[in-house]
Structure 1
Amino acid sequence: MNVDARLVVWVRGRVQQVGFRWFTRENALEIGGLVGFALNLDDGRVQVVAEGSRDNCHRLLDWLRSDDTPGRVDGVTEIWDTPRGGYEGFAIR
Protein backbone atom coordinates (compact mmCIF):
# COMPACT_ATOMS: atom_id res chain seq x y z
CA MET A 1 0.00 0.00 0.00
CA ASN A 2 1.48 3.32 -1.08
CA VAL A 3 0.15 5.92 1.35
CA ASP A 4 0.69 9.65 1.00
CA ALA A 5 3.50 11.22 2.98
CA ARG A 6 5.14 14.55 3.71
CA LEU A 7 8.90 14.73 3.24
CA VAL A 8 10.88 17.67 4.60
CA VAL A 9 14.52 17.78 3.52
CA TRP A 10 17.43 20.09 4.29
CA VAL A 11 20.27 19.91 1.77
CA ARG A 12 23.74 21.14 2.77
CA GLY A 13 26.64 22.02 0.49
CA ARG A 14 27.07 24.35 -2.48
CA VAL A 15 23.39 24.29 -3.37
CA GLN A 16 22.51 27.96 -3.83
CA GLN A 17 23.05 29.97 -7.03
CA VAL A 18 23.57 26.77 -9.05
CA GLY A 19 19.97 26.11 -10.20
CA PHE A 20 19.35 23.62 -7.40
CA ARG A 21 15.76 24.72 -6.66
CA TRP A 22 14.87 24.78 -10.37
CA PHE A 23 16.23 21.27 -10.96
CA THR A 24 14.51 20.03 -7.79
CA ARG A 25 11.20 21.37 -9.10
CA GLU A 26 11.83 19.81 -12.52
CA ASN A 27 12.56 16.42 -10.95
CA ALA A 28 9.47 16.62 -8.73
CA LEU A 29 7.35 17.38 -11.81
CA GLU A 30 9.00 14.57 -13.79
CA ILE A 31 8.35 12.09 -10.99
CA GLY A 32 4.76 13.31 -10.91
CA GLY A 33 2.16 13.41 -8.18
CA LEU A 34 4.25 15.62 -5.89
CA VAL A 35 3.36 19.05 -4.53
CA GLY A 36 5.43 21.32 -2.32
CA PHE A 37 8.35 23.70 -2.72
CA ALA A 38 12.11 24.28 -2.70
CA LEU A 39 13.41 27.25 -0.70
CA ASN A 40 16.84 28.84 -0.17
CA LEU A 41 17.59 29.29 3.54
CA ASP A 42 19.69 32.11 4.98
CA ASP A 43 22.34 29.64 6.23
CA GLY A 44 23.12 28.39 2.69
CA ARG A 45 20.99 25.24 2.79
CA VAL A 46 18.00 24.45 0.59
CA GLN A 47 14.80 23.21 2.20
CA VAL A 48 12.58 20.93 0.14
CA VAL A 49 9.04 20.02 1.17
CA ALA A 50 7.26 17.39 -0.90
CA GLU A 51 3.89 15.74 -0.41
CA GLY A 52 2.58 12.82 -2.41
CA SER A 53 2.91 9.07 -2.46
CA ARG A 54 5.65 7.72 -0.22
CA ASP A 55 7.26 6.01 -3.24
CA ASN A 56 7.44 9.26 -5.20
CA CYS A 57 8.81 11.12 -2.18
CA HIS A 58 11.52 8.44 -1.91
CA ARG A 59 12.33 8.90 -5.60
CA LEU A 60 12.85 12.65 -5.04
CA LEU A 61 14.95 11.96 -1.93
CA ASP A 62 17.11 9.49 -3.87
CA TRP A 63 17.70 12.17 -6.52
CA LEU A 64 18.60 14.77 -3.87
CA ARG A 65 21.24 12.34 -2.54
CA SER A 66 22.58 11.44 -5.99
CA ASP A 67 25.49 12.86 -7.99
CA ASP A 68 23.00 14.21 -10.57
CA THR A 69 22.16 17.37 -8.62
CA PRO A 70 23.67 20.73 -9.57
CA GLY A 71 26.32 22.15 -7.27
CA ARG A 72 27.70 19.91 -4.52
CA VAL A 73 25.62 18.14 -1.89
CA ASP A 74 27.52 17.54 1.34
CA GLY A 75 24.61 16.16 3.34
CA VAL A 76 20.88 15.57 3.38
CA THR A 77 18.67 15.47 6.47
CA GLU A 78 15.06 14.36 6.15
CA ILE A 79 11.95 14.15 8.30
CA TRP A 80 8.86 12.15 7.35
CA ASP A 81 5.39 13.24 8.44
CA THR A 82 1.74 13.09 7.44
CA PRO A 83 0.67 15.44 4.61
CA ARG A 84 -0.71 18.83 5.61
CA GLY A 85 -2.02 19.85 2.19
CA GLY A 86 -2.46 23.38 0.95
CA TYR A 87 0.01 23.21 -1.95
CA GLU A 88 -0.81 23.74 -5.61
CA GLY A 89 1.91 22.24 -7.75
CA PHE A 90 5.58 22.38 -6.87
CA ALA A 91 6.94 25.90 -6.33
CA ILE A 92 10.30 27.61 -6.15
CA ARG A 93 10.32 29.97 -3.21
Structure 2
Amino acid sequence: MSAHRVIVTGKVQGVGYRNWAVSRARVFGVTGYVRNCGTAVEAIVSGDDDAVDRMIEAMREGPAMARVDHLEVQAANDAKLKGFTKRLGA
Protein backbone atom coordinates (compact mmCIF):
# COMPACT_ATOMS: atom_id res chain seq x y z
CA MET A 1 0.00 0.00 0.00
CA SER A 2 1.18 3.50 -0.82
CA ALA A 3 -0.10 7.04 -1.04
CA HIS A 4 1.14 9.89 -3.20
CA ARG A 5 0.36 13.57 -3.67
CA VAL A 6 0.29 14.38 -7.37
CA ILE A 7 0.42 17.91 -8.80
CA VAL A 8 -0.49 18.15 -12.48
CA THR A 9 0.24 21.30 -14.47
CA GLY A 10 -0.59 22.29 -18.03
CA LYS A 11 -4.01 22.69 -19.59
CA VAL A 12 -5.76 20.72 -16.85
CA GLN A 13 -8.60 23.00 -15.77
CA GLY A 14 -11.80 23.46 -17.75
CA VAL A 15 -11.17 20.22 -19.67
CA GLY A 16 -12.87 17.67 -17.41
CA TYR A 17 -9.65 16.49 -15.77
CA ARG A 18 -11.18 16.01 -12.31
CA ASN A 19 -14.19 14.05 -13.57
CA TRP A 20 -11.87 11.95 -15.71
CA ALA A 21 -9.62 11.29 -12.69
CA VAL A 22 -12.59 10.09 -10.64
CA SER A 23 -13.60 7.64 -13.37
CA ARG A 24 -10.01 6.35 -13.79
CA ALA A 25 -9.62 5.95 -10.02
CA ARG A 26 -12.68 3.71 -9.97
CA VAL A 27 -11.20 1.57 -12.76
CA PHE A 28 -7.87 1.21 -10.94
CA GLY A 29 -9.43 0.80 -7.50
CA VAL A 30 -7.54 3.61 -5.77
CA THR A 31 -8.83 5.97 -3.11
CA GLY A 32 -8.22 9.65 -2.50
CA TYR A 33 -9.37 12.88 -4.07
CA VAL A 34 -8.70 15.37 -6.83
CA ARG A 35 -9.16 19.16 -6.74
CA ASN A 36 -8.16 22.34 -8.53
CA CYS A 37 -5.24 24.06 -6.85
CA GLY A 38 -4.35 27.45 -8.32
CA THR A 39 -3.64 26.78 -11.99
CA ALA A 40 -2.85 23.10 -11.34
CA VAL A 41 -4.75 19.99 -10.31
CA GLU A 42 -3.81 18.26 -7.06
CA ALA A 43 -4.64 14.66 -6.19
CA ILE A 44 -4.03 12.25 -3.35
CA VAL A 45 -3.86 8.71 -4.70
CA SER A 46 -3.78 5.80 -2.25
CA GLY A 47 -4.00 2.04 -2.59
CA ASP A 48 -2.17 -1.02 -3.83
CA ASP A 49 1.28 -0.08 -5.17
CA ASP A 50 0.53 -1.35 -8.68
CA ALA A 51 -2.84 0.41 -8.84
CA VAL A 52 -1.33 3.69 -7.61
CA ASP A 53 1.44 3.43 -10.23
CA ARG A 54 -1.13 2.80 -13.00
CA MET A 55 -3.23 5.79 -11.86
CA ILE A 56 -0.20 8.07 -11.83
CA GLU A 57 0.80 6.92 -15.31
CA ALA A 58 -2.74 7.60 -16.55
CA MET A 59 -2.59 11.07 -14.98
CA ARG A 60 0.45 11.85 -17.15
CA GLU A 61 -1.88 11.68 -20.17
CA GLY A 62 -5.19 12.91 -18.75
CA PRO A 63 -8.41 13.23 -20.74
CA ALA A 64 -8.45 14.00 -24.46
CA MET A 65 -8.90 17.77 -24.03
CA ALA A 66 -6.08 18.12 -21.47
CA ARG A 67 -2.41 18.86 -22.02
CA VAL A 68 -0.20 17.69 -19.17
CA ASP A 69 3.06 19.64 -19.09
CA HIS A 70 4.43 18.38 -15.78
CA LEU A 71 3.57 15.86 -13.08
CA GLU A 72 5.10 16.18 -9.62
CA VAL A 73 4.76 13.13 -7.37
CA GLN A 74 5.51 13.14 -3.64
CA ALA A 75 5.01 10.54 -0.94
CA ALA A 76 1.95 11.27 1.20
CA ASN A 77 0.53 9.95 4.43
CA ASP A 78 -2.02 7.22 3.79
CA ALA A 79 -5.15 8.96 5.02
CA LYS A 80 -7.30 5.79 4.71
CA LEU A 81 -9.75 7.65 2.51
CA LYS A 82 -12.86 5.92 1.24
CA GLY A 83 -13.60 6.15 -2.43
CA PHE A 84 -12.13 8.75 -4.76
CA THR A 85 -13.85 12.12 -4.82
CA LYS A 86 -13.76 15.42 -6.64
CA ARG A 87 -13.30 18.28 -4.18
CA LEU A 88 -13.61 22.02 -4.46
CA GLY A 89 -10.38 23.93 -5.07
CA ALA A 90 -7.79 24.64 -2.43
* TM bracket, shorter-chain basis: 0.7 to 0.9
The offset of 1:7, in angstroms, is 1.2
2:44 aligned to which of 41, 49, 71: 49
| Rg larger for | 1
**Partner Cα distance (1:80, 1:22) in 2:** 23
Moved over 4 A (4+): none
SS in 1 for 2:18: helix
1:25 matched to 2:19? The reply is no
User: What are the superposed Cα offsets for residues 24-66 of structure 1, whole Å, 9 maximum, x if unpaired?
Assistant: 110010111x110000012x10001011011100000110113
The answer for the alignment partner of 2:36 in structure 1 is 40
1:13 matched to 2:10? The reply is yes
Provide structure 1 residue ranges, at least 5 long, that are not aligned to the other structure. Answer: none
Identity %: 27
**Partner Cα distance (1:29, 1:49) in 2:** 14
- Provide the aligned length of Structure 1 versus Structure 2: 86
**Partner Cα distance (1:15, 1:82) in 2:** 25
Q: Is the 8 A contact 2:8 2:70 kept in 1?
A: yes
The offset of 1:80, in angstroms, is 2.1
